């Protein structure tokens, strides 16, 4: 399945971990963190988003890089980016 951003969508397991991590970082219920939900709609500002991406890097033992997370706005986009970085690291 090809996502809107042009690469395969994240595996369900990756998405679940991303959702759990975001909920924990923002101290919100994980049920409010749907794939299409924008970080801004969860009350996250740009600093929160940076902290979320740092937590995801740690969670998945990957490095997204400075510019990698700039355009991430939704939960699904974050999961897709993690998946892309994980796959790139595996090759």
User: Annotated catalytic sites, by residue?
Assistant: 45
What sign does the dihedral 38-45-49-42 (CA atoms) show? negative
Contacts of 6 by beta carbon, 8 Å cutoff, 6+ apart: none
Looking at the DSSP bridge assignments, the partners of residue 8 are 2
31 close to 19: Cβ distance less than 8 angstroms: no
Q: Are 60 and 17 in contact (CB under 8 A)?
A: yes
């Amino acid at each position: 399945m090809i996502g809107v951003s042009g690469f395969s969508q994240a595996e369900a397991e990756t998405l679940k971990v991303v959702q759990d991590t975001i909920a924990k970082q923002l101290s919100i219920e994980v049920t409010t963190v749907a794939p299409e939900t924008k970080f801004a709609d969860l009350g996250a500002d740009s600093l929160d988003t940076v902290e979320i991406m740092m937590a995801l890097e740690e969670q998945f033992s990957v490095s997204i890089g400075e510019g990698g997370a700039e355009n991430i706005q939704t939960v699904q986009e974050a999961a897709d980016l993690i998946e892309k970085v994980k796959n790139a690291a595996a090759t």
